[in-house]
Amino acid sequence: MAIQPKLTTQAACRVARLHRDRFNEHVAAGHFGCAPATVPGRARLFDPDDMIALWLFRELMDDGFDARHAGTIACAVAECARFYPEAAAISYVQSYFSGGTAHPASAVPASDEWDEVLFSGTDIRKVTTFRIGKLREMIAHYTEEERSIIGPDD
């Protein structure tokens, strides 16, 4: 099994195009609960699956989501992507009465079936699908680019 590259917070934020100080503020506020664990004096290390969450977090905020909702969705989608590494797409399914859950897109009923089926015991209100396969490729590309220019402060 190949060793997965890991990035420090500074490098990860550059790859995800997210300001590092804003990221740290969101983590401290509890808006991004799936940040890699760390201890004082040590950098967080982001593996490729952690990068999915970070990238989506920034994209969702760019799309107008507040940080709390962006973090919830990004973390759920990234956790599902980690569990299903071969999934080309991950869907975040929201119901009418509870939050949302992430599933491989192939497991979610087509929209023309929503009136006839329940999903995880409830009606589907909305589905947002993320093209995780392409996102993994982009993260790998930008991670390699970042690793080629990493400096002593990283």
Whether 37 contacts 43, CB under 8 Å: no
Q: Strand pairing partners for 129?
A: 91
pLDDT tens, per residue, the chain with 154 residues: 556 789 999 999 999 999 999 999 999 999 999 999 988 888 899 999 999 999 999 999 999 999 999 999 999 999 999 999 999 999 999 998 878 999 999 999 998 988 888 787 788 999 999 999 999 999 999 998 887 776 555 5
| Residue 46 φ/ψ, nearest 5 degrees | -100, 120
Specify the pairing of strand 124-130 against strand 90-95.
Answer: antiparallel
Distance from C-alpha of 107 to C-alpha of 127, rounded to nearest angstrom: 12
| Residue 71 φ/ψ, nearest 5 degrees | -65, -40
Q: Report the run of H or E that residue 92 belongs to, with start and end.
A: strand 90-95
Listed in sequence order, the residues at least 6 apart from 114 whose beta carbon sits closer than 8 Å to its beta carbon are: 123, 124
Statement: the pTM of the whole predicted model exceeds 0.85: yes
Nearest-10 Cα torsion for 42, 140, 85, 53: 50
Domain boundaries defined on the chain: 7-149
Distance from C-alpha of 33 to C-alpha of 73, rounded to nearest angstrom: 11
